[in-house]
């Protein structure tokens, strides 16, 4: 009896090899090649995207004025770029239990007005999904459910029913009869997602795919899936009961927007005032040493965040930096600038950095407030009350300008802040500005303020 043909597929990027390799030549990952049976020849019935038998001019293409519609959930619409596009495919990933299925049920119920919606479950039975929908107090009659993991059956159902919005929970449970591999394998995920995305684009169905994530926090399966879909959204938990969604890819909008949700018994609800969500009520109280405030820009919105720093003497002569909300390399660079250009002695200190509320910060504008927080922690001197700061630090110790200073100061003014430390004088500023050109000048200035 002849052995079945096999090949080896990289679980990270999808590269196919005839023999096992320890390291993938494409993505560089180690020990990611998995043995899979060779796929049978296709019968040619897979969904394809086609315009006609010949090319057409873009001027002749008709666009429905309702091509984009809102989901009814404001924070999700913001991340998606204003709503869902007909025929688009959206991949949603997140940790187990974070609320992906809950959010999708709420989306379907909101979209059911005037539209046909369908929930395809490959992980839960209809009764389990119904119990969740009852707990969320959703309109049960507005949502149709179908439980099957065979992609051929799903394709037949979609072709017959032609719903407007479909949720597949989850992508890793789908299987194709053409692929002699278990569910969740690279070949199965790639083949099933390609089939569904192509069919939904052809029929104008908005498709939501729920995906699993690995222990590293990235979506499970080959990277080609993220290239295939139109939008990739990550669901993160930033603190107890608070979730954040962020787009890693969006063909129809910006990837800078974030959505903030709070988890309640009745499901996920948008945070009412996200601009002040990440700061504690300290405007009327004395600020402890090591605390600074800064406005950051995320898409079209401005958030006020609290940066916390703590320094302690290093044990056994080995210094360490603990920071998971701000990149450790950035903290190391700011500490080196303070030591070289401001005379602070941080080389024998363990440094701890945190952001209140759990938000991750990547903007260069946080470097000046981070420097002020480190100085405050090291000297045990509190920064002045109602003061914000923003600016980029150069390796020469200069404080450089950043974008949208007026927008940042306006948001701070609305939340009760009165003063700002900035690298450049702004016109018609709503705050009392204290201008500094170097980090040494900034520290001398803040030390003299009351």
**CATH code for the domain of 396:** 3.30.230.10
For residues 193 and 333, membership in a common domain is answered with no
pTM of the full structure: 0.78
Domain count, the chain: 3
Q: Which of 11-20, 245-254, 276-285, 380-389 has the lowest mean pLDDT?
A: 276-285
Long-range contacts of 39-44 (CB under 8 A, 24+ apart): 39/178, 39/179, 39/180, 39/187, 39/191, 40/178, 40/179, 40/180, 42/178, 43/178
Q: 230: which DSSP letter?
A: S
Interatomic CA distance for residues 6 and 38, integer angstroms: 5
| 431 shares its domain with 346 | yes
Q: Are residues 232 and 369 in the same domain?
A: no
14 DSSP assignment: -
* DSSP character string of 89-106: EEEEEE-TTSSHHHHHHH
CA-CA-CA-CA torsion for 363, 364, 366, 368, nearest 10 degrees? -170
Q: Is residue 49 part of a domain?
A: no
Q: What is the pLDDT of residues 161-185, one digit of tens each?
A: 999 999 999 899 999 988 877 888 8
Strands (E), 38-83: 68-69
Task: At 427, list the tokens.
Answer: 């016109």
Structure confidence at residue 155 (pLDDT): 94
The answer to whether position 33 is within a domain reads: yes
- Contacts of 7 by beta carbon, 8 Å cutoff, 6+ apart: 16, 17, 18, 35, 36, 38
218 with 87, same domain? yes
φ and ψ at 165, to 5 degrees? -130, 130
User: Are both 220 and 339 inside the same structural domain?
Assistant: no
Question: Is 44 inside a domain boundary?
Answer: no
Tell me how crowded residue 434 is: count the other CB atoms within 10 A of its CB.
18
- The annotation places the binding site at 94-101
pLDDT at position 29 over 50? yes
**Model confidence over 255-265: pLDDT tens digits?**
888 888 988 88
Residues in binding site for ATP: 94-101
């Amino acid at each position: 009896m002849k052995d079945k043909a096999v090949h080896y597929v990289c679980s990270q990027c999808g590269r196919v090899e005839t023999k096992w390799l320890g390291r993938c030549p494409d993505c560089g990952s180690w020990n990611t090649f998995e043995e899979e049976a060779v796929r049978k020849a296709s019968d040619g019935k897979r969904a394809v995207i086609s315009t006609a038998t010949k090319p057409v001019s873009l001027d002749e293409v008709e666009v429905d004025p309702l091509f984009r519609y809102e989901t009814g959930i404001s924070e999700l619409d913001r991340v998606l770029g204003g709503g869902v596009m007909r025929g688009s495919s959206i991949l949603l990933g997140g940790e187990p239990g974070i609320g992906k299925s809950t959010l999708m049920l709420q989306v379907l119920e909101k979209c059911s007005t005037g539209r046909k919606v369908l929930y395809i479950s490959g992980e839960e039975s209809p009764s389990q999904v119904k119990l969740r929908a009852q707990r969320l107090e959703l309109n049960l009659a507005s949502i149709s459910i179908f439980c099957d993991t065979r992609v051929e059956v799903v394709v037949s159902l979609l072709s017959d029913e032609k719903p407007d919005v479909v949720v597949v929970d989850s992508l890793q449970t789908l299987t194709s009869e053409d692929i002699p591999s278990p569910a969740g394998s690279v070949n199965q995920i790639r083949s099933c997602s390609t089939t569904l995305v192509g069919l939904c684009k052809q029929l104008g169905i908005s498709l939501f795919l729920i995906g699993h994530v690995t222990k590293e926090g990235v979506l499970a399966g080959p990277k080609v899936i993220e290239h295939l879909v139109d939008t990739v959204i990550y669901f993160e938990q930033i603190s107890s009961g608070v979730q954040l969604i962020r787009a890693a890819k969006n063909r129809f909008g910006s990837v800078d927007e974030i959505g903030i949700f709070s988890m309640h018994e009745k499901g996920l609800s948008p945070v009412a005032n996200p601009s002040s969500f990440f700061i504690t009520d300290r405007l009327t109280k004395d600020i402890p040493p090591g605390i600074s405030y800064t406005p950051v820009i995320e898409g079209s919105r401005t958030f006020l965040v609290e940066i916390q720093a703590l320094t302690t003497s290093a044990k056994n002569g080995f210094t360490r930096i603990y920071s998971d909300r701000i990149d450790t390399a950035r903290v190391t660079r700011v500490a080196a600038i303070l030591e070289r250009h401001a005379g602070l002695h941080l080389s024998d200190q363990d440094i701890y950095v945190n952001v209140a509320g759990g938000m991750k910060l990547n903007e260069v504008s946080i470097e000046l407030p981070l420097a002020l927080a480190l100085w405050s922690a090291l000297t045990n001197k509190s920064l002045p009350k109602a003061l914000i700061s923003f600016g980029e630090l150069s390796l020469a110790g200069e404080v450089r300008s950043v974008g949208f200073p007026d927008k940042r100061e306006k948001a701070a003014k609305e939340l009760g802040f009165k003063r700002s430390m900035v690298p450049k004088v702004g016109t018609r500023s709503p705050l009392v500005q204290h201008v500094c050109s170097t980090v040494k000048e900034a520290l001398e200035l803040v030390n003299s303020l009351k």
